[in-house]
Structures are given as structure tokens and as C-alpha cells.
Amino acid sequence: MRFTLTQLDNAYRWLCQQRKKFPPDADIWSFRYRYPATMSDLLQEINSGWYRFSPQQKIIKSNGEVIHLWGSQDTLVMKLMAGVLGSILPLSSRCTHIKGHGGLKQTIVDVQNHLSDYKYACKTDIKSFYESIDQYLLMDMINDSVDSGIRNYLYQVIHRCVEYGGEFKDIDQGIPRGCPLSPIFGALYLKALDDHFTDKNLYYVRYMDDILILSKTRWQNRTAVKQLNQMLSKLKVQKHPDKTYIGKTENGFDFLGYHFFRETLKVAAKTWEKHALHIKYPSYLNFGNLVMVFTLLALLRVFASLVSKFDISLFKKSNLCEEGFSVSNCLIIADEFSIDLISLVSSIARLRQIKRRAVDAGSI
């Protein structure tokens, strides 16, 4: 397969957008300076099959978090390949995180629409999914669908090397995070699940490693759980024990950040808790303004009650999902409380307008 200059430019624009807030000493700025003069040679090198990826850089952030970062040029080449691999690989339509397969919002709508037809649910996700993927199993799956030219590049990405302080370490387990190819690798690795549970008188959907199986009888549910465990064992991955639900749909369950129930759909409690934990407190916080802080945190519960109940059709038409999260993002305590309170009040007013429109439409 040969890539075109148009495809390379599209990947370059994506890269510039992704790294526009990188620090001044990041390599993205020197790469952007050189790109106009080197893009033709770079494209020729990629199409010839002679391109080689550099080692990832191990970076320790100020909060102690450790990340492995690809260079800008390598990330550009990965994005270029990701743009065509989605159409080359035989990925299942029931894997909805892939572009063109529905996406998050459509998945939520589809699950809620089918929920009333099924009595039992098995919901789970994979524990440490990216880190648990067996590289050799993944490469065997790739070998069956990709020509040798791209296969060589994909092997370099999967079996990568990390450099830190002059020391180099080969990574022989898992796939890289923050890589444009990783969502495609994840979709391909669990494709056996998608193929097995499709057209079995069940409702099956997968968003990356979040898996949901709906069944009509207890026997179907038990059989599906048994088969799921067997297939995950063959793939050398495990269910996450704290994120697994097996039981009746009438009891409700959390999936993709939402709590699904037969009558209503609402934001999951854990989703609100995560947003509360991401509130940033000022360094000069003292006892005198603790009252203000606890007041703001209490108002977070107001937001939850305002958007806790709405009709699924209104959710689909009015983008209430995006409205809720954009409002929750306003709950950040920065350096000046007066500014935050103004934005907070305006956000509350905005949510009430949304609820009022829903009431007028007869959906709440």
C-alpha cells in the first residue's frame, strides 16, 4: 500500500492540533519548522518500507506520573497508518469505538433502546487491557490481514523500546497508551468475542474493552458468561472484578459512564465522583474559605439531580450528554472564587434552561 501526500497532510494537521499545548522545548516545534521542506522525503521513506521508529521517551511528570511519549514524527506516521488500517482490518461492527461504527453516544442510545427486550445482563471490562495484551497473539491476528510492508511498521510499534537516562528497555508485553494505532489494536485483539456473540439471540456490544451482553433467560446468561470467561482466558486477559455486573437488568447497571435502568437513563454516580475528585483547590485554602468550598461541592449534587432523569429520545436530539459534562467542567475552583462563582451560577441557570426545555417537551 502506498500513502499519498494528502493523507500525510491530514495526519500532520491532526498532530499539530494534538500537541499545540506542548511546552516550548518539545520536539513538535522543531518538527513543524522542518516539515514543509522534508514532507516529500518522509513520504517516500514511508512508502519504500525503510522508515524506522525511534525509542519512546520515558517522562516523569511533576505529579509523579510516568508516561512513555513517542516523538512527533513517529506519531505522525502512526496516525497516517491508523487512517487506513480501520478499513483494511476485518473489524466487527459491534465494536463501536472505531470510527464509522457508531461511537459513544449512539452506543448509549442503542443499549437503552434494547434494554426492555432483555431480562439479564453481563457487563464487564478487561483489567489493565492495554498492558495485558499478548504481543505475539496480536501480531498473529495482524499477519492474516495486512501486507508485509505495513506489518513491519506495526511490529515496530507493538514491540517498542523505551529510553530513559541513556538506558534502553524493550517492552515485550502490552501495547502503548496514547498511540493513534492502539484503539485499532484493541478492536482487533477482542474481535473473536465480537464474532462469537453476534447473531446468537443475544444483544452484544463492545466499546474498546467495555463489554455488554444482554440475554432473555437465566440459562442464556450463564452460558454467555461461561463462554466469555473461556475466550478471555485464551486471549490471556481477565475481567475486572470491580467493574463486572452479572444479574437482572431491572436492578440497573453502570456502563460507559451511565446508569442504565429500564425506565430511565442517568449519569452514573461514579462519574460524578470522578468529576468531584478532579476539582483543583487553591494553594492558599484556609479555614475561613472552607465554607465556600463545601458550598460549591454541595452544589455539585444539585447538578446531579437536575440531569439525573431525562427521556432517551431527548438525550439523542438535544445533546444533553455533552451539556452535562461541559457544565461539570465549570466546577473548578481556581485562584479567584469570585470568577468561579459567576461561572457556577451561569452554569446552574444553563442546566435549568435545559431541564425547562425538557419539561416543555414532555420528556421529563
- If we measure between CA atoms, which residue out of 364, 268, 283, 287 comes closest to residue 325? 268
Q: Which of 197-201, 260-264, 314-318, 341-345 has the lowest mean pLDDT?
A: 314-318
- State yes or no: pLDDT of 246 exceeds 50: yes
Question: What's the average model confidence in pLDDT over 173-193?
Answer: 94
Residue 346's pLDDT is: 55
Question: What's the average model confidence in pLDDT over 70-95?
Answer: 93
Residue 261's pLDDT is: 83
- State yes or no: pLDDT of 336 exceeds 70: no
Q: CA geometry: angle at 97 spanning 197 and 111, to 5°?
A: 60
Mean pLDDT of the chain: 81
Residue 287's pLDDT is: 45
Q: What is the pTM of this model?
A: 0.75
Residue 359's pLDDT is: 60
Q: Which of 118-127, 161-170, 211-220, 254-263 has the lowest mean pLDDT?
A: 254-263
Residue 360's pLDDT is: 64
Residue 309's pLDDT is: 44
Residue 348's pLDDT is: 52
Q: Which of 25-39, 52-66, 117-131, 300-314 has the lowest mean pLDDT?
A: 300-314
| Per-residue pLDDT tens digits for 297-332 | 555 555 555 544 444 444 344 443 443 433 344 444
Burial 304-316 (b: 16+ CB within 10 A, else e): bebbeebbbebbb
Cell of 241: 472484578
pLDDT band at 219 (very low <50, low <70, confident <90, very high): very high
Residue 162's pLDDT is: 96
Rg (CA), the chain: 23
Question: What's the average model confidence in pLDDT over 88-101?
Answer: 90
Helix H or strand E encompassing 57:
strand 56-60
Determine what percent of the chain is predicted with pLDDT higher than 90.
59
Distance between CA atoms of residues 92 and 120, nearest Å: 23
How many residues are listed for the chain in this entry?
364
- State yes or no: pLDDT of 163 exceeds 70: yes
Bridge pairing between strands 210-215 and 66-69? unpaired
Stronger pLDDT, 317 or 345, i.e. the higher one: 345
Question: What's the average model confidence in pLDDT over 90-94?
Answer: 90
Distance between CA atoms of residues 168 and 164, nearest Å: 7
Specify burial of residue 123 (Cβ count, 10 A radius: 0-12, 13-18, 19+).
Answer: buried
Distance between CA atoms of residues 87 and 91, nearest Å: 8
> What is the crossing angle of helices 27-48 and 5-18, to 10°?
150
| Per-residue pLDDT tens digits for 249-261 | 999 999 998 889 8
Q: Which of 242-251, 260-269, 324-333 has the lowest mean pLDDT?
A: 324-333
Contact 32, 71 (CB under 8 A): no
